[in-house]
Amino acid sequence: MIQDKKEHKFGMVIDLDKCTGCGSCMVSCMSENNIPFKEDESRKKDSITWMRVYKLTNGKSFPDIQIAYLPRPCQHCSGKGGHGHSPCVSVCPATATDYGYDTGIVSQIYTRCFGCRYCMGACPYHARYFNWWDPEWPAGQEKYLSPNVSPRMRGVVEKCSLCYHRYQAARDKAYYEGRDDIEESEYQTACTTACPAGAIVFGDLNDPSHMVHQIVKPDPHPDPMNKYVVDKSRNPKVFRLLERLGTNTKIYYLSEREWVRKAGDNYLDGEWDKVKNHHGSSSK
């Protein structure tokens, strides 16, 4: 079987200097993945947006203030030491979410989930959403739903799947054509293809020929400063969200602006200046 021949580690790098906060990725995700909507979506704490764009500011006052936008899909953590024990996967009591060692993608199976919401508590990125309501579409609108992603029922948790169905489709084509593996361009997520600024680069972090690998340059060795952290980027402009927790996310972010990179994690006073120039182990 294909995924046995080669182990992928799909991930993303998002250029926050290119991101304009336009929201195309959010909507593309919604329409690709049959995300429901309700009358009041302004309560962001119960509004299902697999891809959510956060607004960051540098906290300065007029006119020195700066803002940046940070798109946040599920971070697809590979967990402490990269062993696949993501914060959510390790806590799910019913194995409704698992870590695909062949793809590095964290799944969520709506029909297995019974809605205990432990995974939501465990996720520091708020990437997981609960279906508090039955999904309802205005008359006729259910006609645009895609059969590639199963609509969720009330009472279960859902989250970004990195458009796994697009991976499946690409593999089906590869099988049909008798190919062993899929091309970089054959599997791209809905947010990636939608971004009008081309801020999102998606691909296989394990494959040196893929753009995402070339930008991120993941460090094969654990971070000497924190044994739980693996695949730290060796690109000084690239960072991950809450890297210090050892969640080992596969969504990387890129920015020229130091304050933006600093916002990616938490630092004690003065700590940032010590660590800001540390980018993975010396190995090149």
What residues between 163 and 182 interact with another protein by CB under 8 A?
A: 164-165, 168-169, 171-178
In 3D space, the residue among 53, 45, 89 whose CA is nearest the CA of residue 253 turns out to be 53
Q: Quick one: which of 237, 238, 215, 218 has its CA closest to 229? A: 218
Binding to another protein (CB under 8 A) within 24-53 occurs at: 24, 26-28, 30-32, 34, 37-47, 49, 53
Nearest distance from C-beta of residue 73 to another protein, angstroms: 14
| Phi and psi angles of residue 28, each rounded to the nearest 5 degrees, phi first | -60, -40
Contact letters for another protein, residues 113-132 (x by CB under 8 A): xxxxxxxxxxxxxx-xxxxx
CB closer to another protein, 134 vs 221? 134
Least distance in angstroms from the C-beta of 136 to another protein: 9
Would you count residue 247 as binding another protein (CB under 8 A)?
yes
Nearest distance from C-beta of residue 37 to another protein, angstroms: 5
Torsion angle of the four alpha carbons 75, 168, 192, 237, in this order, in degrees rounded to the nearest 10: 50
Beta bridge partners of 248: none
Minimum CB distance to another protein, residue 235 (Å): 16
Instruction: Please identify, using beta-carbon distances, which residue of 168 and 221 lies nearer to another protein.
Output: 168
Q: Which residue has the tokens 């704490």?
A: 45
Selected binder of another protein within 12, 73, 161, 223 (CB under 8 A): 161
Considering only residues 200-239, where is the footprint of another protein by CB under 8 A? Answer: none
Shortest reach from residue 79's CB to another protein, in Å: 9
Nearer to another protein, 215 or 242 (CB): 242
67-86 residues near another protein, rule: CB under 8 A: 67-70, 80, 85
Number of residues binding to another protein, judged by CB under 8 A: 148
Q: How far is the CB of 228 from another protein (least distance, A)?
A: 9
Site for another protein in 134-153 (CB under 8 A): 134-135, 137-153
Q: Is 112 or 234 the residue whose CB approaches another protein more closely?
A: 112
Is 1 an interacting residue with respect to another protein (CB under 8 A)?
yes
- Among 83, 181, 215, 267, the residue binding another protein under the rule CB under 8 A is 267
Specify the residue, 5 or 283, whose C-beta has the smaller distance to another protein.
5
